Amino acid sequence: MFDFYEEVGLSRSALLERISENVKASRFKHILGVEKAAIKLAEKYGVNPHKASLAALLHDYCKEEYDATFLALIDKYHLDEELKNWDNNIWHGKVGIWKMREDFGLQDDEILRAIEIHTVGSQEMSELAKVLYVADYIEEGRDFPGVVEARCVAWDDLNKAVAFETMRLVSYLAERRLTIYPETFEAYNAFISYLR
Ligand code: GDP
Ligand code: FE
Ligand code: FE
Ligand code: FE
């Protein structure tokens, strides 16, 4: 494990304490599961495991933030007004990074971008962003139909894993008659050919 995260100027134990104060115990457990998966994926696919660790530890830091906090951040940082039509599911990544900048002084663009798109993906994803996106889906605590297959794909090919997860996400949302964030479709279109 890493003892210190210079990107946020905190020891691992201080960082974990800050995160655990902001999320419930079950989510903290999920976060540690994502970190474990992200480090393993990073080692397999040649991504910096230290960055993967920090991105994973912070990715859901804002999942329990009040809606009003996100709406205020959208105004404060002049983010796309269209974001206001969405909810916590989209905000905790897309808007959450602005709270992480404030709360941790985090400025690493690659880590911030990976966290920003960890829920919805994007047509252009760094290898770090792919690792976080996939780790969030396959971490050991996840239990849903298809997770075993998703884990198999993840250890086979990282682009295939992004495609597989996005395909399943789009069909999951469509079956539930939910609205789909435009970047999710863009990710689907950009990656789906890896599954053919
Ligand atoms: P978590 O934060 O670890 O629970 O996982 P994610 O950040 O990946 O996803 C959070 C939630 O957002 C999940 O319930 C997803 O199904 C949902 N979600 C992801 N993409 C979209 C989308 O395009 N539209 C909608 N409505 N929900 C989405
Ligand atoms: Fe999330
Ligand atoms: Fe996810
Ligand atoms: Fe998560």
Task: Write out the DSSP string of 125-173.
Answer: --HHHHHHHHHHHH-TT--STTHHHHHHHHHH-HHHHHHHHHHHHHHHH
The pLDDT tens digits of the residues spanning 60-118 come to 999 999 999 999 999 999 999 999 999 999 999 999 999 999 999 999 999 999 999 99
Angle at the Cα of 119 from the Cα atoms of 108 and 37, rounded to 5 degrees: 75
Q: How far is the CA of 157 from the centre of ligand 3 (A)?
A: 17
Measured in Å, residue 66 CA sits from the centre of ligand 1 at 17
- Ligand 1 in contact with 60 (CB < 6 A)? yes
**pTM of the full structure:** 0.98
The finding on whether 57 has its CB within 6 A of some atom of ligand 1 is: no
Would the CB of 184 count as within 6 Å of ligand 1?
yes
- The structure tokens listed for 63 are 């999942």
Alpha-carbon distance of 132 to 9, in angstroms, equals 21
Nearest CA to ligand 1 atom 17: 89
Ligand 1, pocket-test mutation among 22, 60, 119, 186, most atoms within 8 A of CB: 119
Q: How far apart are CA 39 and CA 41, in angstroms?
A: 5
Ligand 3 mean position to 109 CA, how many Å? 20
**pLDDT value, residue 119:** 98
Task: Please give the ipTM for the structure prediction.
Answer: 0.98
The C-alpha angle 85, 73, 176, rounded to 5 degrees, equals: 30
Q: Report residue 26's pLDDT band, with 50, 70 and 90 as the boundaries.
A: very high
Per-residue pLDDT at 1:
83
Protein residue closest via CA to atom 11 of ligand 1: 89
For the residues 125-131, what does the mean pLDDT come to? 99
What DSSP letter does each residue of 5-29 carry, written as one string? ETTTTEEHHHHHHHHHHHS-HHHHH
Ligand 1 proximity of 178 Cβ (cutoff 6 Å)? yes
140 pLDDT more than 90: yes
Q: Rounded to the nearest 5°, which phi and psi values hold at 176?
A: -95, 10
Mean pLDDT value across residues 121-141? 98
Percent of the chain with pLDDT over 90: 99
Q: Tell me the pLDDT of the chain averaged across its residues.
A: 98
Determine the average pLDDT of the residues in 148-162: 98
The second-level CATH assignment, the architecture, of 4-143 is Orthogonal Bundle (1.10)
The label of the residue with tokens 């995260």 reads: 5
Structure tokens at 154: 């993840």
